[in-house]
Structure 1
Amino acid sequence: MSTQRTSRAADWVRLHARNTPGRACFVTDTDSYSFAQVNSRVNRVANELRRMGVGKGDRVALFATDSHCYMETLLACMKLGAVYVPLNFRLARPELQMLLRTAEAKVLFFSERYAAMVESIDVPTLRWTVSYEKTAVADRGYDELVAAGDDVEIDTPFGDDEIMCLAFTSGTTALPKGVMHHQRMTKHLVFQCILERRLPADSFHYSPAPLYHVAGMGYVLAGVARGFPSLILPAFDPVTVLKWLRRDVLNGVFLVPTMIDMLLQQPDVRDASYDRLLSIAYGAAPMSPTLLRRAMKTFRCDFMNMFGAGTEAGLQTVLTPEDHRRALAGNEHLLGSIGKPGMGVDLRLCDDDLNEVPDGTVGEIVTRSDAVMAGYLGMPDETDRVLVDGWFRGGDMAWRDDEGYLYLSGRKKDMIIRGGENIYPIEIEQVLSELPAVQEVSVVGVPDERWGEIVRAHLVVNPGGAFDEDAVREYCRTRLAGYKIPAVFRVEETLPRNASGKVLKRTLRTR
């Protein structure tokens, strides 16, 4: 008796290489790679990795800026059944080493610009390093893998409950949280993206979300699954992106509010018609209604707000183009909404005991869907805290109006979202508290028109001590990723506290 083979995400590129071989899959600023070319390159990398001893379940880490080679590496891991571990390329050296050790990475792919950092790390499980460019530090070069590998399909059986990705939520806490994505989650995220983002087969889409982020991976994988090309640039640059928009070839983009603001500041942004641009999706950070109105007036296309807990629970709500048009027609309050639950999302607003709260009352967003993670690597207690009978509790707080629209009220935790990047204050507090001059420290996020939020640190200095901001910033650069370094430092006489001695961060935010 034969068992039915589960469809694999790894099959997407193979199928389009067979059905539409000449269609573009990945487009860069200088080249275009068809589905047939990409599938061939993926096969070659996968077969060479297999010769290097990489098999099903092995961890393959990526510490690199965005490129078509990065995505080919992910697809090669899918074909092998290996677990890909995308890492934030702005990590400091201690963060990188900690995450590689936690992941027990066997292979590390990296960009040449990080060669010195890679050379200095100590990871016992690491057997191979592969550079996307030429460097003496790496054991192998990526081009070498492509040239040496065989263009032969690898058909690794892979079930929907098996882990295919390990994505980290943070990098400097003693126990970083590695989010385990099973294949079911990845497939649901991609299909949900295609549907809710309204991406037809003739799309040409661009997302500047970095490929180490679930939004970056998800949008490009949606193109691979649907059979349309994705523009891949090394990093977001408003001049370059506006150039592509003015070419009138892109018909869909995803941007965080900070990037939209950067585009609107370009002097020639209003000199084009953008006739082919059908829609702009935004998300990952709060966006002011003022900025949204400016964007809608400039680009004159559909807008949609995509909100969710991407790394752990995927897309949760959508404010559709129809909702935006209603807002422009007089229902402007909708511009402050995150919309309604997305496809396949069971969403509740709950109190601390997971009892649903009535409309108009603030509660925690709790969701259940196929896009919910399998759990945190090696952290059963933390997993049990956020996953209750399949329901995910991410700590986002919201209320629902009588039409079913949801409005954010803040976050249960004090997480800061700066330009789409999640920042946990305790990480920064731990680093700053190690300074001899610092007696107490509390870090908060405060609103910012450009970044959504910025990091502000409030410090109490030891008696007789001196605070040298330049020196502290330099110290932070050795311990933290750049985006986590506070934008503002404030020296306080005391920190406000409640009766139990807890620092009142709400009071600090309003100072």
Structure 2
Amino acid sequence: MINLASDHLRRAAQSFPQGVAIVDGDRKILWSDFDRAVERLARRLTTAGLAPGQSVLIMSGNCAEFLILSFAVWRAGGVMAVVHASTGPNELDYALTNAEPHFLFAEGESQTAAAAAVSRTGSRTEIFDLVCNAELIPHIAPFAGDLPQVDCDAVGVIGYTSGTTGVPKPVAHSHRSIAEGTDGVADIWRIDAADTILVAVPLSWMMGLVILSLTATTRAARIHLMREFSPDGVLDAMLGHGITFFAGSTSMYVKIANAWHRRDAVADFHLRCCISGGEARNEAVFEDWCRITGTPVLDAYAAFECWPLVMNDPAGVPPPTGSAGKIAPGARMRFLGPDGREVAPGEVGEAQGRGPAMMMGYWKEPDLTGKAITPDGWYRTGDYARIDEHGYVYVLGRASDLINRDGRPIYAAEVEQVLSELDYVAQAAVVGLPDADHGQMVAAAIVPMPGAAPSEAAILEHCAARLAAVKVPGMIRIVEALPHNMSGKVLRREVIPMLLRMREAEDA
């Protein structure tokens, strides 16, 4: 088994030298050219002083050079440290002090933020310019000797999460972990060289760089990069470039489907697999998507700390509604009750997992790592879930999102699932608000589909027919938008004060 990302690239270049590896705007880069560019840059980085185990931080939008740099760092034995190009100063300062990068490659306006962060932190990092569609550090001569041997069990990537807590966590994976993990993902999703994978999420997210782009490389599938996400841009790519594989959040599917309905176009999709993750499903939108494209939307449940966990075979039997799928090959899950013992199938418990790609830990954060990984090596997902007698996993929501009403636990995701059945609901966020009589009230903020004018009474009637009375929202408000983090996940901690302000204004 290949245990280095750059070896996956070497194999793709040897097997399909004239095949297109990357589509970046009007550019098409062949596998052989991709591999040669990576080799040149790996040697330049070595000449410049990058040693195995040292990190390189990147701040850039999506472009081929982002991928070339990543694979070059891996080939030279270095560590890719990845933050979003528009990350805030506090998060950037943290990444600099945590990763201690030897080099920082920044594109365009990000250079100003990078220089300011280096100055604030007193970092000794050397900043290089990253220009899309241009050779990186061309003034440095390539190293002429043998590149260093790469320790496959050494750290290879540090991804700074944009979680819903607002504090980034430095998820560290070894070279082996990302190489073997993506190989397994490619098997599950049946990726091959005939596929064209659309990367519409930022490469600065591990979904874009590792789960999509590196997985594509393991099978020499074409990587179609979008500079940034736009619904019409996605449709143009799907209709004009033979996209066969797409992965995105529920919010992205909502926006793309709405953009399609504004068009007068012939449906000429070539999709064979569509994946959602990171947000609650919206079944009405996904049914619409299937009518538009002919391809269902399947779930993938995991975290970059531990993956794959729960996935779906695109050629298999569709999972039951509400299920995230079955436990992935090579993964294990357990569901623990309050007493720390495993619950019976069908019962809800705290979900813990062990996956083919387990993080080494949170880089230089042993206390955080200790909270996330149990003494016996299981990753605490922070979610409540259950598994049925047929092996299907149902994720009910974050432990931190649990609503307690009259002593009864209510899972926000369960209520959101029912709300998403309404075809005029684009997105819903369910939270618990303080309630003097019952502890907490179930409250929902709903973003309607464009042009829809849903009534709160009709929504309540639907919920009452599908949920136990204690779970029916006591407050429903229609809003124009929900607060999201950079990954597109709803920030529930901001939904709560938003609804409280609305309630206070109405009571005044």
When normalised by structure 1's length, the TM-score is: 0.75
Does 2:269 correspond to 1:294? Answer: no
Match of 1:303 in 2: 297
Match of 1:247 in 2: 240
Does 2:399 correspond to 1:412? Answer: yes
Does 2:87 correspond to 1:87? Answer: no
Match of 2:253 in 1: 260
Alignment of 1:372-451 (within 5 A): 372-388=358-374, 389-414=376-401
Distance 2:323 2:82 in 1: 31
Match of 1:108 in 2: 104
Change (3 A) 1:133 1:404: same
Change (3 A) 1:192 1:382: same
1:223 Cα deviation after fit: 1.7
SS at match of 2:300: strand
Change (3 A) 1:19 1:403: closer
CA RMSD between the two structures: 3.5
Match of 1:348 in 2: 334
Match of 1:126 in 2: 124
Q: Note the alpha carbon deviations across 1:449-491, whole angstroms, 9 max, x for none.
A: 78xxxxxxxxxxxxxxxxxxxxxxxxx9xxx979769478548
Match of 2:113 in 1: 117
Change (3 A) 1:231 1:72: same
Whichever residue aligns with residue 350 of structure 2, its letter is: E
Distance 2:238 2:73 in 1: 32
Tell whether the 8 Å contact from 1:61 to 1:108 is kept in structure 2 after alignment. yes
Match of 1:179 in 2: 171
Change (3 A) 1:399 1:83: same
Distance 2:383 2:501 in 1: 32
Tell whether the 8 Å contact from 2:197 to 2:245 is kept in structure 1 after alignment. yes
Q: Note the alpha carbon deviations across 1:404-438, whole angstroms, 9 max, x for none.
A: 21111111134999xxxxxxx9xxxxxxxxxxxxx
1:215 Cα deviation after fit: 1.3
Q: Note the alpha carbon deviations across 1:235-257, whole angstroms, 9 max, x for none.
A: 11111110111125111111221
Count of matched residue pairs: 428
Uncovered stretches (5+) of structure 1, i.e. residues with no partner = 135-140, 328-333, 418-424, 426-443, 451-475, 497-511
Change (3 A) 1:261 1:173: closer
Tell whether the 8 Å contact from 2:12 to 2:31 is kept in structure 1 after alignment. yes
Whichever residue aligns with residue 234 of structure 2, its letter is: V
Q: 265-274 or 27-36, which moves further after superposition?
A: 265-274
Does 2:140 correspond to 1:158? Answer: no
Percent identical among aligned pairs is 20
1:188 Cα deviation after fit: 2.8
Does 2:186 correspond to 1:200? Answer: no
Alignment match of 1:65 (pick from 39, 54, 61): 61
Whichever residue aligns with residue 214 of structure 2, its letter is: L
Match of 1:233 in 2: 226
1:346 Cα deviation after fit: 0.9
Q: Note the alpha carbon deviations across 1:215-243, whole angstroms, 9 max, x for none.
A: 11121111222112110111111111101
Change (3 A) 1:144 1:350: closer
Alignment match of 2:29 (pick from 22, 28, 33): 33
Alignment of 1:35-54 (within 5 A): 35-54=31-50
Tell whether the 8 Å contact from 1:270 to 1:298 is kept in structure 2 after alignment. no
Change (3 A) 1:68 1:489: same
1:335 Cα deviation after fit: 2.2
Match of 1:504 in 2: none
Alignment match of 1:283 (pick from 252, 277, 282): 277
1:302 Cα deviation after fit: 4.5
Alignment match of 1:145 (pick from 137, 160, 167): 137
1:148 Cα deviation after fit: 4.5
Tell whether the 8 Å contact from 1:43 to 1:154 is kept in structure 2 after alignment. no
Q: 343-352 or 63-72, which moves further after superposition?
A: 343-352
Tell whether the 8 Å contact from 1:43 to 1:152 is kept in structure 2 after alignment. no
Distance 2:387 2:233 in 1: 39
Alignment match of 2:322 (pick from 336, 348, 358): 336
Distance 2:168 2:444 in 1: 21
Q: Note the alpha carbon deviations across 1:483-503, whole angstroms, 9 max, x for none.
A: 76947854859999xxxxxxx
1:303 Cα deviation after fit: 3.5
Change (3 A) 1:356 1:204: same
1:18 Cα deviation after fit: 2.7
Distance 2:143 2:19 in 1: 19
Tell whether the 8 Å contact from 1:263 to 1:269 is kept in structure 2 after alignment. no
Does 2:165 correspond to 1:167? Answer: no
SS at match of 2:51: coil
SS at match of 1:143: coil
1:320 Cα deviation after fit: 3.8
Distance 1:49 1:209 in 2: 27
Distance 1:323 1:21 in 2: 32
Distance 2:248 2:22 in 1: 19
Distance 2:83 2:180 in 1: 22
Uncovered stretches (5+) of structure 2, i.e. residues with no partner = 403-411, 414-430, 432-442, 450-482
Tell whether the 8 Å contact from 1:42 to 1:76 is kept in structure 2 after alignment. yes
Change (3 A) 1:213 1:374: same
1:124 Cα deviation after fit: 3.0
1:448 Cα deviation after fit: 5.1
Distance 1:19 1:323 in 2: 29
Distance 2:270 2:324 in 1: 26
Tell whether the 8 Å contact from 1:307 to 1:317 is kept in structure 2 after alignment. yes
SS at match of 1:10: helix
Tell whether the 8 Å contact from 1:365 to 1:393 is kept in structure 2 after alignment. yes
Tell whether the 8 Å contact from 1:170 to 1:176 is kept in structure 2 after alignment. yes
Change (3 A) 1:397 1:34: same
Q: Note the alpha carbon deviations across 1:111-165, whole angstroms, 9 max, x for none.
A: 202232223222433331122239xxxxxx9635247543969543223321101
Q: Note the alpha carbon deviations across 1:202-225, whole angstroms, 9 max, x for none.
A: 211113222122211121111222
